[in-house]
């Protein structure tokens, strides 16, 4: 079993919080993580709402169901019966025992306000994404913390070929896919997975049948990954009214298929674009949706660059979940076209700027956006990093440097 780097955070939360929820997409390993924790670190009874009999009992009477259990309890796939949250609230309000409930859910409760608000102040939510590359390499240190360190002198990263990098991107991070060596078998898994999510999860959350519209929309979005969310353009391409489109995008984000990277909003000397960027949460699924393979990514520099940016953004998002710094993540684009691919901002206002370049060489021109950011922020600017596909650590100006992208997981 590959160790999940949020494990210690879950254990810490169980030590002082009545309800802890592990949020994440289907098949990322939530149930496996929860069972490992109760076996080795936090003894509890395990019950899953994927069991038809259990779900029926819960739906009949959430309070009555919970009254049958004493001690710590794990409730798996709890989003299948929202009424459980109010029943849990009633129990916790009577006795706030740390670690009483460990929940897992395949719908992002932060995007379901009624559920999130019912346990406000009583529940800590942690997100488990598909495997990060650092987890696959068995590295527990977060590169995010290194980027905020007072001085950055990274160890020489492992050199990887473009072919190996493409292999990482097309495999993605879902545990079961990692066990399938043949491309055809991975393709079948992705196809089945997407159908299951769009048929079952969307139906459970929104009580709609999305099979006719959502698959086509998801493919359109995958082709536009790392671009701005342009509702008008996407509505025209998908032949959907904007009201329906916005609802469907929210559902796809709620089920962890897409993620909107927000624009950084701060007082600066130039007007900023405020539209979010669209990110696919797994480049394996992204590749399946757009029909990408090794040959296409080798030949198309544009497509390779798009995949690499999406890949790096998601690696950072994953590593943030277990980092000590826990920065917020954004992107920056001015109305005049200056751009920084990723902005990491810590709680104290310190900022690290990140550019992502698919080339194996860099030049001073590649730092234009980071240079602008450094000038605007002054002391708040920790450093600017350009991740590229070369193999050398290259210092440029003060606080500006180029790093091999493999530094994120080696």
Note whether 196 and 333 are same-domain residues.
yes
Flag whether pLDDT at 209 surpasses 70: no
**In three state form, how does the secondary structure of 3-71 look?**
CCCCHHHHHHHHCCCCEEEEECCCCCCHHHHHHHHHHHCCCCEEEECCCHHHHHHHHHCHHHHHCCCCC
Whether the Cβ atoms of residue 143 and residue 408 lie closer than 8 Å to each other: yes
Note whether 120 and 153 are same-domain residues.
no
Provide the residue range defining the domain that includes 104: 7-127
Q: How confident is the model at residue 119 (pLDDT cuts 50, 70, 90)?
A: confident
DSSP state of 272: B
pLDDT recorded at residue 236: 94
Note whether 333 and 292 are same-domain residues.
yes
Q: pTM for this one?
A: 0.94
Where a domain ends, among 65, 95, 127?
127
Note whether 332 and 380 are same-domain residues.
yes
Strands 351-356 and 339-345, sheet pairing: antiparallel
Note whether 267 and 404 are same-domain residues.
yes
134 within some domain: no
pLDDT recorded at residue 207: 64
Tokens standing for residue 305: 């660059």
Least reliable range by pLDDT among 192-201, 203-212, 296-305: 203-212
Tokens standing for residue 115: 């559920």
Note whether 113 and 144 are same-domain residues.
no
Note whether 115 and 161 are same-domain residues.
no
Mean pLDDT of the 314-329 span? 97
Note whether 232 and 357 are same-domain residues.
yes
Note whether 229 and 152 are same-domain residues.
yes
228 within some domain: yes
193 within some domain: yes
Note whether 200 and 325 are same-domain residues.
yes
Where a domain ends, among 127, 161, 182?
127
1 within some domain: no
Distance CA 312, CA 318 (A): 10
Flag whether pLDDT at 250 surpasses 60: yes
Smallest CA-to-CA distance from 137 within 160, 153, 154 is with 160
Note whether 144 and 83 are same-domain residues.
no
- Rounded to whole angstroms, the maximal C-alpha distance in the chain is 66
Domain count, the chain: 2
Q: How do residues 349-372 score in pLDDT, each as one tens digit? A: 999 999 999 999 999 999 999 999
Note whether 11 and 35 are same-domain residues.
yes
């Amino acid at each position: 079993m590959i160790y999940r780097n949020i494990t210690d955070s879950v254990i810490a939360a169980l030590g002082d919080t009545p309800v802890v929820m592990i949020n994440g997409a289907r098949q990322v390993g939530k149930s496996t993580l929860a069972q490992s924790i109760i076996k080795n670190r936090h003894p509890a009874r395990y019950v899953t709402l994927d069991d038809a009999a259990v779900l029926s009992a819960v739906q009949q009477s959430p309070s009555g169901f919970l009254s049958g259990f004493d001690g710590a309890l794990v409730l798996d796939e709890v989003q299948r019966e929202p009424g459980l949250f109010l029943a849990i609230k009633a129990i916790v309000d009577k006795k706030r025992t740390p670690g009483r409930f460990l929940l897992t859910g395949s719908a992002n409760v932060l995007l379901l306000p009624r559920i999130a608000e019912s346990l406000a102040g009583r529940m800590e939510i942690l997100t488990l994404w598909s495997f990060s590359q650092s987890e696959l390499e068995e590295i527990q240190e977060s590169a995010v913390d290194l980027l905020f360190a007072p001085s950055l002198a990274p160890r020489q990263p492992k050199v990887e070929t473009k072919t190996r990098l493409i292999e990482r991107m097309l495999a993605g991070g879902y545990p079961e896919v990692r066990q399938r060596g043949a491309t055809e078998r991975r393709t079948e898994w992705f196809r089945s997975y997407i159908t299951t999510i769009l048929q079952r999860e969307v139906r459970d959350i929104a009580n709609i049948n999305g099979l006719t519209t959502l698959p086509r929309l998801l493919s359109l979005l995958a082709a536009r990954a790392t671009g701005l969310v342009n509702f008008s353009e996407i509505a025209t391409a998908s032949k959907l009214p904007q009201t329906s489109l916005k609802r469907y995008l929210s559902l796809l984000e709620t089920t962890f298929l897409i993620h909107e990277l927000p624009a950084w909003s701060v007082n600066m000397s130039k007007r900023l674009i405020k539209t979010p960027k669209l990110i696919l949460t797994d480049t394996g699924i992204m590749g399946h949706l757009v029909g990408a393979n090794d040959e296409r990514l080798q030949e198309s520099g544009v497509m390779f660059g798009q995949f690499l940016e999406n890949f790096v953004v998601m690696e950072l998002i994953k590593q943030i979940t277990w980092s000590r710094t826990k920065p917020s993540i954004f992107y920056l684009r001015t109305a005049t076209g200056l751009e920084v691919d990723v902005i990491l901002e810590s709680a104290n206002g310190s900022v690290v700027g990140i550019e992502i370049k698919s080339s194996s060489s860099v030049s001073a021109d590649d730092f234009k956006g980071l240079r602008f950011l450094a000038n605007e922020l002054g002391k708040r600017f920790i450093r600017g990093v350009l991740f590229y596909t070369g193999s050398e650590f290259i210092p440029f100006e003060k606080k500006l440097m180029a790093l091999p992208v493999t530094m994120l997981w080696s």
